[in-house]
């Protein structure tokens, strides 16, 4: 009986829900005020069906080459020499996309930065939220020109509140953002290496404020990335941190713009 009941919950209630696990709590944080631990089922984006159709259409392009620069990073168990991926292998899961949509509706950001556009799937969910609140801009960065050109068309199908830069985030940041530009949400989904992510966070913090959120994808991508996330999540410069669905990590910053503690 208990086994059947568990199967029922897994197929119905939990199927489209995300497990929310707080790592660091602060009752005054935006995360704690708007999320609670346990299972959370975000409501679907009004563009959800359209996004699914776009993903399916993009899938017809087959497997495309990864950015050549990935082979310069040594990641355990990964060989990026002549590696390819299709949209289904690198896309945000639908319920995670719906969470991004929910996040934009509730956080109401003026500026979102995305590092690693890929085929534009996560960006479409973020853009759907901006479209709904009728404000804000998504600034997204992709180093793979072939992927970026596909992403532009996909994003344009959802809305116009975005700017896609083909090139490295680190090399283009100062040309795009002024010191007065406040970044409310950043989504890091590029190179899943602690050292790289750490440098990107340091750059982002220059334009972030109290309650700004940084989202990391694939926090369990490798033992090295997992270790980096564990240290970041409890850093003294972080007000609150949470894991979403065992894959996404979110930190909420304190007001200080000092760099996060050095990666050990």
Cβ atoms of 252 and 207 within 8 Å: the answer is: no
Predicted TM-score (pTM) of the model is 0.90
Structure tokens at 117: 């556009």
All domains of the chain in start order, with CATH: 25-253 (3.40.50.150)
Kindly indicate the confidence band of residue 256, based on its pLDDT and cuts at 50, 70 and 90: low
The answer to whether 138 touches 152, Cβ cutoff 8 Å, is no
With contact defined as beta carbons under 8 Å apart, do 123 and 97 qualify? no
**In 3D, which of 222, 227, 249, 246 has the Cα closest to residue 238?**
249
Residues above pLDDT 70, as percent of the chain: 89
pLDDT of residue 16: 77
- Tell me how crowded residue 224 is: count the other CB atoms within 10 A of its CB: 16
Q: What is the CA radius of gyration of the chain?
A: 18
DSSP output for 28-40: TSHHHHH--SEEE
Beta bridge partners of 236: none
How much of the chain is helix, strand and coil, in % rounded to 5? 40, 20, 40
How do residues 14-35 score in pLDDT, each as one tens digit?
Answer: 577 999 999 999 999 999 999 9
Predicted local confidence at residue 82, as pLDDT: 75
Are 197 and 228 within 8 A, CB to CB? yes
- 82-92 pLDDT tens trace: 789 999 999 89
């Amino acid at each position: 009986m208990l086994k059947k009941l568990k199967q029922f919950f897994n197929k119905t209630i939990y199927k489209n829900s995300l497990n929310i696990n707080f790592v660091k709590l602060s009752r005054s944080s935006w995360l704690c005020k708007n999320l609670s631990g346990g299972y959370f089922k975000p409501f679907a984006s009004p563009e959800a069906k359209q996004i699914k159709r776009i993903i399916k259409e993009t899938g017809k392009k087959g497997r495309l080459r990864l950015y050549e620069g990935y082979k310069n990073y040594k990641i355990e168990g990964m060989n990026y020499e002549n590696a390819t991926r299709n949209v289904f292998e690198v896309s945000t899961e639908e319920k995670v996309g719906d969470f991004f949509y929910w996040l934009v509706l509730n956080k109401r950001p003026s500026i979102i930065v995305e590092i690693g556009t890929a085929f534009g799937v996560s960006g479409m969910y973020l853009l759907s939220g901006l479209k709904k609140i009728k404000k804000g801009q998504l600034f997204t960065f992709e180093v793979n020109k072939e992927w970026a050109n596909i992403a532009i068309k996909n994003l344009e199908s959802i809305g116009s509140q975005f700017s896609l830069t083909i090139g490295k985030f680190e090399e283009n940041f100062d040309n795009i953002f002024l010191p007065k530009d406040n970044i409310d949400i950043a989504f890091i989904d590029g190179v899943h290496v602690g050292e790289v992510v750490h440098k990107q966070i340091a750059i982002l913090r220059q334009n972030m404020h109290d309650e700004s959120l940084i989202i990391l994808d694939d926090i369990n991508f490798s033992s090295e990335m997992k270790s980096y996330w564990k240290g970041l999540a409890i850093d003294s410069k972080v007000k609150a941190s949470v894991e979403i669905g065992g894959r996404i990590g979110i930190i909420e910053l304190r007001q200080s713009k000092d760099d996060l503690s050095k990666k050990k």
